[in-house]
Amino acid sequence: MQAHSGPGQWDGEADVVIVGFGAAGVCAAIEAADRGAEVLAIERFDGGGATAISGGIYYAGGGTTQQKEAGFDYDTPSAMFDYLRLETEGVVSDELLEDFCDRSVENLQWLEALGVPFEGSMAPRKTSYPTNDYYLYYSGNEAAAPYKDVAKPAPRGHRTKGRGTSGRVFFGALEKAARTRRIDVRRQTVVTSLVTDDAGVVVGIECREVDPAAKMLRRMHRVLGSLNRKWNLYYRPVGRLMDAPIRRIETGHSVVRRYRARKGVVLAAGGFVFDREMLKEHAPRYLHGTGLGTIGDDGSGIRLGESVGGATDRLERVSAWRFFNPPIAMTEGVLVNKEGERICNELLYGAKIGEYIADQTDVSAYLIVDARMLADAKRQVPEQTLWFQRLQTTYLFSVGHEKGATVEQLARRVGIDPAGLARTIDRYNDDRRAGRPDLMEKDPAYVTPLVDGPFYAIDCSIRIQAGFPCPVLTLGGLTVDEWTGAVTAADGTAIPGLYAAGRNAVGVCSQSYVSGLSLADCVYSGRRAGAVVAGAPGLA
């Protein structure tokens, strides 16, 4: 993916050219357009990227309308900062994180003004994703130790209002807002290189568009892209069957275009979870997870930045989601490794649990529950789950577990050290009976002795299971100037004419992830890049 020198012949031009039209791309486009810039967005598929198939969770705090409606009027930007400072572990400066938190309410209101719907109905319990009755919840580790000791817990997971997974509603509203601004979006077009002038300034892009005259092939590309995206989320082996036909259309039936960017190019093309070689090089532990996004999340935007000298960081950081709640009764069990040792607080957010699993031998972990816990969980399914969560529980409660009459028998069947597991469960039970604090600081309400056989083990390892996917999302990207979004080289100097946002850039969520933080970072970094490049002096 080499940079080409310009100027050459142009097929069109705009003030701002945006590569990728997901959450970060559309926010950059809207912000730039509202500041008077002419915007051209280039999109490989139909738009939306990982956002459109996400849960539509937006992380916001500091006193949002929805928090106040639900009775959490005490949250402040300062409390949000204190919590996120612990989660983000210095991936951005304190000053940048403070700005992110200070602008949180404003950015949520900006989204609402563009038509993204939110509501303050508060979920009554900890969950990975609330039912259609609730649209505000604890989407991270706010209520768990040690986080609750740093900042007063407040729910900041704002679910876009819409039935089921509502990422499509989130992106749909922004796409409509872009359409009303007459932002030019060239779909079914793959950017192949950046164009630079003799001074190294990025002045445009070169791309391949599926031939506009081949209407049947364009329709086929669109259908295959849609099916591919859905199957990738639930069972990648089926989605993989569509990869080659999509690429054949893109390479064999396309026309080359070159577009000039008078003020700058914004890279917003998503992560690299579907680039096997990049994963193998930077994050091999996550190779067998289920990629969250589209095959457009192939690292192409990152490689474009690297082709002109852009540096990268945090490429080893990947978020793996291991959710076994809902139903909530499952959190009463213990999560152990192959040695039978407990690895974390089972009430933690699923991505934090995934971090702990990734550190274990063979990235393997097992949730151990007893008969009473499993029976309680089955009773909770109708009230606490949505359709996609019911698919998971149906699998886990039927064929997706191992069973043993005793703890030791279960351990042998699964491949866990029997003595280690017995010690762990004895300690867990004894501490509860004696009234001692839980070893992992789990809320006492969910610490229940495991005594009622038979016992069950659910494989929570980071690998593909047909009924229990482990979604993974890459977090690292190109290094950028924190205040402008300009892509930077290894020495910290900005690459002139080039900006990055969302998962193409290192941002607030590039070290650790909680639900909604990537969307919030996409909005924050997308608006930042759009505003800065729209105000750039431009080329002669």
DSSP string, 275-336: -HHHHHHH-GGGTTSEE-S-TT-SSHHHHHHHHTT--EE-TT-EEE-----SSGGGGGSEEE
φ, ψ at 425 (rounded to 5°): -70, -35
HEC states along 488-524? ECCCCCEEEEEEECHHHECCCCCCCCCCCHHHHHHHH
HEC states along 412-457? HHHCCCHHHHHHHHHHHHHHHHHCCCCCCCCCHHHCCCCCCCCEEE
- Mean pLDDT over 129-157 rounds to 97
375 has a pLDDT exceeding 60: yes
What's the alpha-carbon Rg for the chain, to the nearest Å?
24
381 has a pLDDT exceeding 90: yes
pTM: 0.96
Q: Looking at residue 361, what DSSP letter applies?
A: G
Q: Give the pair of three-digit tokens for residue 507.
A: 């941002």
Confidence band of 66 (pLDDT split at 50, 70, 90): very high
In contact, 522 and 21? CB cutoff 8 Å: no
pLDDT in tens, 255-273: 999 999 999 999 999 999 9
Q: Give the pair of three-digit tokens for residue 242.
A: 């569509």
453 has a pLDDT exceeding 70: yes
pLDDT on residue 233: 81
Which residue do the tokens 């445009």 mark? 204
Among the listed residues 514, 318, 327, 336, the one whose alpha carbon sits nearest the alpha carbon of residue 440: 336
pLDDT on residue 2: 59
Total Cβ atoms within 10 A of residue 150 = 15
Terminal C-alpha separation, the chain: 27
Q: Which domains does the chain have, with CATH numbers?
A: 4-54+167-319+471-534 (3.50.50.60), 57-159 (no CATH), 322-459 (3.90.700.10)
235 has a pLDDT exceeding 90: no
pLDDT in tens, 328-370: 999 999 999 999 999 999 999 999 999 999 999 899 999 999 9
Contacts of 500 (CB under 8 A, 6+ apart): 266, 267, 268, 301, 305, 310, 477, 478, 480, 485, 487, 525, 529
254 has a pLDDT exceeding 80: yes
Confidence band of 397 (pLDDT split at 50, 70, 90): very high
Higher pLDDT among residues 4 and 283, named by residue: 283
299 has a pLDDT exceeding 90: yes
* Strand-strand pairing, 39-42 and 184-186: parallel
112 has a pLDDT exceeding 60: yes
pLDDT in tens, 167-221: 999 999 999 999 999 999 999 999 999 999 999 999 999 999 999 999 999 999 9
pLDDT in tens, 207-216: 999 999 999 9
Report the distance separating Cα 450 and Cα 407, nearest Å: 9
Among the listed residues 183, 141, 258, the one whose alpha carbon sits nearest the alpha carbon of residue 526: 183
Confidence band of 236 (pLDDT split at 50, 70, 90): confident
237 has a pLDDT exceeding 90: no
Distance of CA 284 to the CA centre of its chain: 18
Contacts of 43 (CB under 8 A, 6+ apart): 20, 21, 25, 185, 186, 187, 188, 189
The letter for the amino acid at 393 is: T
Lowest average pLDDT, out of 197-211, 284-298, 495-509, goes to 284-298
Confidence band of 8 (pLDDT split at 50, 70, 90): confident
Contacts of 231 (CB under 8 A, 6+ apart): 238, 239, 242
pLDDT on residue 406: 97
Q: Give the pair of three-digit tokens for residue 57.
A: 């969770």
Confidence band of 7 (pLDDT split at 50, 70, 90): low
The alpha helices in 71-166, defined as continuous H runs, are 77-88, 94-102, 104-113, 147-150
Mean pLDDT of the chain: 96
- Residue 137, judged by CB atoms within 10 A of its CB (0-12, 13-18, 19+), counts as buried
- Mean pLDDT over 94-115 rounds to 99
Report the distance separating Cα 255 and Cα 211, nearest Å: 6
Contacts of 252 (CB under 8 A, 6+ apart): none
pLDDT on residue 5: 62
